[in-house]
Amino acid sequence: MQIKTVGVLGCGLMGAGIAQVSAAAGYKTIVREVEEPFLKKGLARIEKFLAGGVEKGKVTAEGKDKTLRNLSGTTKLEDLKDCDIIIEAIIEKVDEKGKSYATLESVVGGDTIFCSNTSSLCITELASRTTRPDRFAGLHFFNPVPIMKLVEVIRGLATSDQTYQSVFAFAQSLGKEPITAPDKPGFIVNRLLVPYLLDAIRSYEHGLGTIEDIDKGMKLGCGYPMGPFTLLDFVGLDTTYYIANIMFDEYREPAYAPPPLLKRMVLAGRLGRKSGRGFYTY
Ligand code: 3HC
């Protein structure tokens, strides 16, 4: 199918990044946030990133202007009525997502594809909250969205071949490298990444080394861009805790069980970079 207009639901960290890469790829992109201040914040994030790109010589001034021209923001779901594909990146709550899908379905055409950027919820369950489970897929981006090349494409039980192919081709058209991941908690990347991060916390609790030394070990010894604690702070401790709980619920394997320290840090509001303090202070 021909995709011309893209809708993005949510203009937080992930939604803003998705809207940016979509607009940069030449799609007319409409991003929706619930309230004006959140929308303004998200659009300002995009402008700042593009301005930074121009400063670094990674984005041309022309490219920046073109991206911003292709992009518009709204607080009304109805404004997404002409979208060929809608990528939802809102709060990780099945009921909230389901409510948004229902409102969207009352305004969009029958061919519109729905995607969710969920990192851990079941795509088949989300699809079942719509009347178009065959036109529903997972499209999972990585943070920071404009920089990370990977996108996971997830087929729910009912996703049609045509939808899967369209979504895969759409991801490629954004300049991303898609991979096909199963509809199982964590998909491919978080399934491997989260136990590693949890193990780093457990090992630290058991005296393996200091936070700085463990980070340095993995960064310099393995060539990872960030050590596990820097990455935990970057992803968000609450997000990691949330994903770990969903994975543990489904698999019941100790590797996915959130360690006591992670739970306590979340309870104490030490969520990482976003709260100013996690394993490090910002
Ligand atoms: N516009 C365009 N390009 C930009 C830019 C901008 N505003 N800002 C930076 N860049 C480019 C840089 O020029 C550089 O490109 P180059 O490699 O071609 O020179 C590249 O992006 C990296 O930028 P920096 O050099 O400024 O920054 P760092 O080298 O410190 O890298 C990082 C930052 C990309 C965040 C790196 O530390 C990294 O990859 N960290 C790991 C991130 C990660 O693992 N993310 C996944 C998290 S898991 C997830 O998201 C899943 C979810 O479900 C939890």
The domain spans of the chain are 5-181, 190-275
Residue 174: its pLDDT value, please?
A: 98
Catalytic annotation, pick one of 190, 212, 250, 275: 190
Confidence of residue 257 (pLDDT cuts 50, 70, 90): very high
List ligand 1's pocket residues with C-beta within 6 A: 49, 52-53, 56, 58-59, 119, 142-144, 147-148, 190, 225-226, 231, 235, 239
Residues 37/15, Cβ–Cβ less than 8 Å: no
Nearest atom of ligand 1 to the alpha carbon of 193 = 48
Percentage of the chain modeled with pLDDT above 90: 99
Residue 123 host element (H or E):
helix 123-128
Judged against a pLDDT cut of 80, whether residue 231 lies above it is answered with yes
Catalytic annotation, pick one of 70, 119, 120, 166: 119
Residue 113: its pLDDT value, please?
A: 98
Distance CA 145, CA 138 (A): 16
Burial of residue 189, with CB atoms counted within 10 A of its CB: 0-12 exposed, 13-18 middle, 19 or more buried: middle
SS3 of 259-275? CHHHHHHHHCCCCEHHH
Rounded average pLDDT over 141-152: 98
Instruction: Give 224's strand partners.
Output: none
- CATH topology agreement for domains 5-181 and 190-275: no
Rounded average pLDDT over 100-129: 97
Judged against a pLDDT cut of 90, whether residue 270 lies above it is answered with yes
Residue-averaged pLDDT of the chain: 97
Percentage of the chain modeled with pLDDT above 70: 100
Does residue 78 carry a catalytic annotation? no
Nearest atom of ligand 1 to the alpha carbon of 236 = 54
Residue to mutate (ligand 1; options 21, 49, 58, 197; most atoms within 8 A of CB): 58
Residues 204/232, Cβ–Cβ less than 8 Å: no
Name the CATH superfamily for 5-181: NAD(P)-binding Rossmann-like Domain (3.40.50.720)
* CA of 108 relative to ligand 1 center, distance in Å: 35
User: What pLDDT, in 10s, does the model give residues 180-223?
Assistant: 999 999 999 999 999 999 999 999 999 999 999 999 999 999 99
Residue 87: its pLDDT value, please?
A: 98
> For 190-275, CATH number?
1.10.1040.10
Confidence of residue 1 (pLDDT cuts 50, 70, 90): confident
Catalytic annotation, pick one of 140, 143, 173, 275: 140
Nearest C-alpha neighbor of 157 from the set 136, 174, 172, 175: 136
Judged against a pLDDT cut of 80, whether residue 168 lies above it is answered with yes
Does residue 140 carry a catalytic annotation? yes
Confidence of residue 128 (pLDDT cuts 50, 70, 90): very high
pTM (two decimals): 0.97
Cis-peptide, bond into residue 259, ω within 30° of zero: no
Confidence of residue 153 (pLDDT cuts 50, 70, 90): very high
